[in-house]
Structure 1
């Protein structure tokens, strides 16, 4: 099923350069925890500038970055209620809309980065868009957050090395299911609490998306990095349904700049991951890159995680997972 926005909007966005301006200036407030100097902050700043350019200043995005509008859960709730116009958030708070939203972040879901990108941009709106719209938000594009890696105080070479450890995980059923499969004590924790928890020994290790984890300095307190790439976290830029219903067709087309620009963010994030890990390694940080055999052992130890996520999510989770499986087949390995 196609959503209200993903019906060729990327194409229509390109055509709006020559379109007539709207009759009055519209300003939409966008909330995000993304630091303004981060790849995500820079990307959304560029998108906002492009929207203002193509609209001739008739549509502007007021960026509330650096958690000015609260944490991600707060931002998403406020957007669903119409108190914010656009949420730019990761997949973790999206489970507030429905636990089925955790499925795309299940461990080892995709066979390759290319397959994951194809499913995300070619199929995911059809799978999840209706769920989001029914919860009060309309997806404009998907936000790449990147692949998870492990940060630990001691070297982790095999899943057996996790025995007895306390691992910081995101408050997500997808993360909890993997922690259970790996036999590690998963401690759900917000990002701001993780560094102090590692310093005090409240947790022994953490997993984060590569760029984010390095960006907040996790490797400085948990200096062993294991490149498991065990899951891929996505997110969204989504507009409030209440705001969407008030916009003109022209304004909706201008917001298509988000849609057109999404793949560029993915390209930048995924391209930066190996480069940044290489910089850590060159700086003396132990970075363990798994051999094919080691990667296979980590993946095998997570067998059954997707089924556990589906069972925990309930509702239409199995149907969502089936549609993602169909999308994977369509995209190829």
Structure 2
């Protein structure tokens, strides 16, 4: 990123945060939370619960401002502001944190854990706490909680898919983190990094042939209008967290730090279980709008993607996580 571009983004975010501060004079501290989620998403409703509970418990001394649709910028830009000590947080996946601490990348590994309860076991473990502490040291980021589950990701295309061979030559949109890219490549497709906001147009204009995503995001972005088949591969269990500035967090009174962490964890559980409960309805609505949704035998995809862990240097860590999941 060039210096001029970075300076412009910093200035833009600075103006936005200045406006926020002007609207939150009653609070002693204000945290601005950025997310790519739409307001209709179950996880966003969890963020609203987080806001309400934090403000109530702190008697209004700690204010939370929510920015859906990435209004404060890309995740990477907000993470950069947090590193600089700005009072911002972002709902982010482990892949984007792996550039600072490699271990976080395994959270996006193929078929790592099953469902919310499986992945929650990982992100509330002492092993995960070690990664979070390393992140504070390496990049100056503070994890509030990492139990914000968005669902298992499936493949959306305009043709039937039953095996990795069916994805040969298919340009499939995915985030640019290495673990995501290698997973999609192992599944047989050509991984194509692209911002989420560009996916609908990219499919319309045939810049990409398909996308992999979780049901709430697929429905919220009306991808049933530009794809015809949803194949339930469940290849990535999308878990995200609220990550803020360690420098800002450390300046808070101890009771405020406790409130943020406790309410973030509680709201993450609430939002994730609401997501679980919503999946069947999202799929029903997409079927009613003409989309074909197919359950397949995922064994060929599981076998094809297992080498991803070794390729990215996660072999030993994968064994640790599997052991944790078995206990």
Q: Same fold (TM over 0.5)?
A: yes
The counterpart of 1:302, out of the listed 281, 285, 305, is 305
Q: Deviations over 1:201-230 (max 9, x none)?
A: 221111012211221112211111001111
Counterpart Cα distance in 2 of 1:101 and 1:64: 24
In the TM superposition, what is the alpha-carbon distance from 1:124 to its structure 2 partner?
A: 5.7
Match of 1:43 in 2: 46
Most deviating of 87-96 and 159-168: 87-96
In the TM superposition, what is the alpha-carbon distance from 1:122 to its structure 2 partner?
A: 3.8
Q: Deviations over 1:103-146 (max 9, x none)?
A: 11111112555322322334563242123212211111112222
Q: Is the 8 A contact 2:34 2:67 kept in 1?
A: yes
Task: Name the Cα RMSD after superposition.
Answer: 2.0
Question: 1:141 is paired with a residue of what secondary structure?
Answer: strand
Counterpart Cα distance in 2 of 1:123 and 1:213: 33
Uncovered stretches (5+) of structure 1, i.e. residues with no partner: 1-23, 311-316
Alignment coverage as a number of residue pairs: 298
Q: Deviations over 1:48-81 (max 9, x none)?
A: 1111111211221122333221111111111121
Matched, 1:272 2:278: yes
Match of 2:3 in 1: none
Q: Deviations over 1:218-252 (max 9, x none)?
A: 22111110011111111111231111110111111
Match of 1:245 in 2: 250
TM-score between the two structures when normalised by the length of structure 1: 0.83
Matched, 1:163 2:168: yes
Match of 1:106 in 2: 109
Uncovered stretches (5+) of structure 2, i.e. residues with no partner: 1-26
Counterpart Cα distance in 1 of 2:149 and 2:115: 15
Q: Is the 8 A contact 1:103 1:309 kept in 2?
A: no
Counterpart Cα distance in 1 of 2:209 and 2:68: 30
Counterpart Cα distance in 1 of 2:206 and 2:213: 18
Inter-CA distance 309–273: structure 2 relative to 1 (3 Å threshold): farther
Inter-CA distance 124–80: structure 2 relative to 1 (3 Å threshold): farther
Match of 2:141 in 1: 137
Counterpart Cα distance in 1 of 2:114 and 2:36: 30
